[in-house]
Homo-oligomer: A and B are copies of this chain.
Amino acid sequence: MTNVREEIILATCRLLEKQGYPATGLNEIVKESGAPKGSLYYYFPEGKEQIISEAVRYAGQILVERMRTGLIRVDDPLQALYEFINHQADQVEKQHFTAGSPLTIVSVEAAGSSERISQACRAVYDQIEAVLQERLACCGLTEAEAAEQARLTLASLEGGMILSRVHHSAAPLRSVARHLKDSMKKAVEK
């Protein structure tokens, strides 16, 4: 992958987190990336859908990897998850609450308009659930229980991101972190 191509993807990711899919124009991407104007359709001959799809995959890959490594840095899975979400809250706070990977916003926007982009989003979500499930299975849950908990964790996380963004405050995300730790601890102990 050449440098220019990657710059375009990175710039697209940044713009998507802030503005979403329809609001992000190709001209804007060119400007933000600093790429030569003629390069867009050279590297992405299938146009906007291709660029957005690849950006979602790219950002998703990074997020999944960050989760995977983050969740094994601490022995206790629940404590690890707690710290990971709080770390996410720190990041979002630093970036003035416009951040959190393009995933949330793009998946909602593309659900009805682009099957291609939707599919890219779904793939990332599935990976995230898989990572969570694998890590939560270490708590002594059955596979089905771990899968269920993973999905619920993901839902809370997404909701927390939204509320933090809307309220311009990291508090909702931190509430989610605390609550998930406590409630799952009880679920495991029972």
Contacts and interface: CB of A to CB of B under 8 A. Distances in A.
Given A22-B22, A151-B175, A166-B118, A105 B109 contact: yes
A124 B9 CA distance: 35
Contacts of A98: 111-112
A20 B113 CA distance: 11
Contacts of A148: 175, 179
B108 A108 contact: yes
Interface in A68-100: 97-98
Contact of A156 (B21, B22, B156, B166): B156
A19 B101 CA distance: 20
A187 B186 CA distance: 9
Interface of A is mostly: helix
A107 to B, nearest CB: 5
Contacts of A159: 154-160, 162
A178 to B, nearest CB: 9
Given A20-B20, A108-B105, A109-B23, A176 B162 contact: no
A183 interface: yes
B163 A176 contact: no
A18 interface: yes
A190 B166 CA distance: 33
A112 B18 contact: yes
Contacts of A190: 186
B22 A166 contact: no
A167 B122 contact: yes
Contacts of A157: 159
